[in-house]
Amino acid sequence: MKKLNLFIAATMLISAHGLTAQDNNDTNVATHQLDVNVPELAILDIYDANTGFEAGPIMFDMTNVSLVGTNAEAGMYAFQDIDYQNLYLNYTSVTGQAGSGYDVTRQIDVQFEPGSTFPGNLDLRITPEAPVIIANGGTVNSAGIVTPGGVALGTTTPIGTDAMLVNSIESVYTGDESFGVKLTYTLEQNGNFAGYQAGLYQATLRYTLSDL
């Protein structure tokens, strides 16, 4: 019995040693693989510095434009006297490397969504300023290039049609709130005044940062 117990104990010791030393090739260097997955990313929002929140409904009330100020005289109607400023287009983009199969650059398009209404022979001019980004959020090049003079939605770019506002966007984080692309909205007459009809018009602006 004593010999049997010794045999069992020896067997267990050998088995335990096998569990704690899986190989005989250990050195003073150890390595193992570490994978980091960086997904593509494309998100944006519009910050309204006038309210301190994301952009909500904006009213262009033409009532006073024809009655006061530079438009007080009969026969004068300056649409551009109404504007809306201090909107900021914030965005984050992570793009792929050339030849990786991922997007290398992106763009931001804007449109009046289908179902919107807008006065005839008028345009909404959206004028962008060059992107301003936080420290280490990207470079002048990676933040993209704004369309010179902006875009015009309405008569020039019909409802449901995209207009390119910013292009050549690479990997960038503009920062929130008063960073990114500053926008100004103004109205422009585009066509015969006969097409301008009274009424309450409601349009929805949709900004899209291109994705996959």
Q: What is the pLDDT of residue 4?
A: 46
User: Per the domain annotation, does 8 fall within a domain?
Assistant: no
C-alpha 41/C-alpha 62 separation (Å) is 40
Q: What is the pLDDT of residue 153?
A: 98
Domain count, the chain: 1
User: Per the domain annotation, does 17 fall within a domain?
Assistant: no
User: Per the domain annotation, does 75 fall within a domain?
Assistant: yes
User: Per the domain annotation, does 159 fall within a domain?
Assistant: yes
Please state the rounded mean pLDDT for residues 89-103: 80
**Could you read off the pLDDT of 160-202 as tens digits, one per residue?**
999 999 999 999 999 999 999 999 999 999 999 898 899 999 9
User: Per the domain annotation, does 82 fall within a domain?
Assistant: yes
Phi first, then psi: what are they for 101, rounded to 5°? 90, -5
Confidence of residue 73 (pLDDT cuts 50, 70, 90): confident
Selection from 175, 36, 178, 167 nearest residue 92 by Cα: 175
Q: What is the pLDDT of residue 7?
A: 47
User: Per the domain annotation, does 94 fall within a domain?
Assistant: yes
**Could you read off the pLDDT of 126-149 as tens digits, one per residue?**
999 999 999 999 998 999 999 999
pLDDT above 70: residue 154: yes
User: Per the domain annotation, does 19 fall within a domain?
Assistant: no
* Residue numbers of the domain that contains 99: 41-209
User: Per the domain annotation, does 189 fall within a domain?
Assistant: yes
